[in-house]
A and B are shown apart, each in its own frame.
Chain A
Amino acid sequence: MTARQEQHYVCISCPIGCPLRLVHEGDQIIEVEGQECNRGAKYARQEFTDPRRTFSTTVPITGAVYGRLPVKLSAPVPRQAIPAAMAAIRLLSAEAPVRLGQVLLRDVAGVAGVDVVACRTMDRVMITPSDDPSSAT
């Protein structure tokens, strides 16, 4: 038989930020305390069983007004998959034009259904003198 243990979280479902205490025996959740509403308990359970996060970053892009294209994950990934997802995105690059929502990579870090998508449209722009002339079209 496993002993009772507890985990502490801060609910981020609303600005109040209730301090939550989740009591469990192994994988079994016994109770959640400290929440002022039901969303707190739901949040603590999710955090305990499968904490998920999303993040944004950029990838290099050529032929656009700026050198970076902002990208995001189409859905949250398990928290521990973030470094692997970030490493995979680091290998990406893009070339203008790119459309908002365009998929740059599917199933990032092996998480089925989570894609890396462009957060904006970037048109192809005319080359300015400071750019490399060899990349001109």
Chain B
Amino acid sequence: MFGRMNRRYDVVVVGGGPAGLAAALGALDSGVSRVLVVEREPEAGGILRQCIHAGFGLHHFREELTGPEYAERFVTQVMDRDIDVAPHSYVTGLAVDSSGHRLVRVLSERGGLATVECRSVVLAMGCRERTRGAVRIPGTRPAGIFTAGLAQKLLNLDGYLPGRRAVILGSGDIGLIMARRLTLEGCKVEGVFELMPYSNGLTRNVVQCLDDYGIPLHLSTTVTRIHGRDRIEAVTVAPVDETGRPDAARAWDVPCDTLLLSIGLIPENELSESLGIALDVVTGGPKVDSTLATSLPGVFACGNVLHVHDLVDFVTEEALRAGRFAGEHARQIRRPRDAIALVPGANVRYCLPHTLSADRPHTVYMRAKTRMSPCILRVGNLLERRLRFVVPAEMIHLTIQPELLERFYEDRLQIDLLPVDGGGVP
């Protein structure tokens, strides 16, 4: 029930975005009955509520939905089942008592500080955006600098147009989508500036969000200085060489009243860190075993808090699994410990989960370090698959069947992405 929070649950889910909602459904499917979702915003749905563009659900629903539509399908399912959702509530901490129960500390607008007892916890707090501090642009610190996602929230939820003349730093999908959105709202977008020699966003977004509206994309170019006292007035941009160093001689100024930063996302790991959960330095999220359990017993993770996803459909898939395993854990079902470490090899930036077992199929998610077409995906000596095309922006997924691991006696399985003769890095 929306707005209800009891004192005792089987599973408590932290965060009511697509990951949290699917985890709650997964937990219920596993046979537990008392599930709570804690969400700090006034309603569930997470980041999808502000992602009003189409492009969600092609895998899960086989149709192209907008973010709010995708979210609503899951909110409705959660409301139809017996799941409690506590809005305006923030999880501030977590402890384990002597009898092995988890105590979740919830700070809520109405109830103040409360402690909720449960057997399993699912972390589904999503991610946050890298800010300017993370890129250290010299110059002044005037108003008018926003992360792209914050500008998206202001515009799409509150109807507040951040400015009239904008520059976008970084070509991630959110930046590209915001370029089109601002243009439609009458804001002039002067250009998108990308440090790398290729766009970090999907080609379809470059075509439909920039090319269609005549917005220039400047590759191998970055913002080197910010001008303006109270409000941003201009930025200096400059081309960069192969090492990423700006060439001041070829720099130019772009007048603007708004700078949007679309320079990447990182898992929201404040809570995980404060709990002493082991994190992966590459993903920025927790290390997890094949049941998506973190290093803290009974605490599971899924969605963008685990690793930043590009497609919500995979968030849903992962979260349903995490919820099911969290539910099993709450019912005291214990699985043997994973015996195989899964490690990234050549051209693999990361792969998840961190460990595998030989008793059931596993879904493995990974990202490439560079663009390759075509290439060979190799899983130890067990499996080779030819892929036509890989890019860092698109997650690769793979199912490893138990038969494959039947006669695998090592404790370490490496995944590589190898070039094919005639292919390689274009």
Contact = CB atoms under 8 A, between A and B. Distances in A.
Interface in B378-420: 388-389, 391, 394
A12 B203 contact: yes
A67 B203 contact: no
Nearest to A60: B159
A12 B208 contact: yes
B72 interface: yes
B373 A16 contact: yes
Given A56-B53, A58-B159, A65-B43, A70 B66 contact: yes
A80 B252 CA distance: 33
Interface in A57-87: 57-58, 60, 65-68, 70, 72, 79, 82, 86
Contacts of A72: 52, 54, 66
Interface string B163-200: 00000000000000000110011000000000000000
Contacts of A10: 203, 206-207, 211
Contacts of B184: 55, 57, 82, 86
Contacts of A86: 184
Interface string A110-137: 0000000001110000000000000000
Contacts of B211: 10
B156 A70 contact: yes
Contact of A119 (B52, B388, B394): B52
A4 interface: no
A65 B157 CA distance: 9
B68 A120 contact: yes
Contacts of A17: 203-204
A53 B157 contact: no
Interface residues of B, number: 33
Contacts of B158: 66-68
B373 A12 contact: no
B212 interface: yes
A100 interface: yes
Interface string A36-55: 00000000000000000111
Interface in B131-172: 155-159
A19 to B, nearest CB: 10
Nearest to A51: B212
B52 A57 contact: yes
A12 B204 contact: yes
A82 B183 CA distance: 12
Contacts of A60: 159
Interface of B: 42-43, 49, 52-54, 66, 68-69, 71-72, 155-159, 180-181, 184-185, 202-204, 206-208, 211-212, 373, 388-389, 391, 394
Given A66-B157, A66-B158, A68-B156, 9 more contacts: A12-B208, A16-B373, A55-B53, A58-B155, A67-B158, A68-B157, A68-B158, A79-B212, A82-B184
15 contacts: A10-B206, A12-B207, A15-B203, A15-B389, A53-B212, A55-B53, A65-B43, A67-B157, A70-B52, A72-B66, A79-B212, A119-B52, A119-B66, A120-B49, A120-B71
Top 6 nearest A-B pairs (CB, nearest first) are: A17-B203, A12-B204, A120-B68, A70-B52, A56-B52, A119-B68
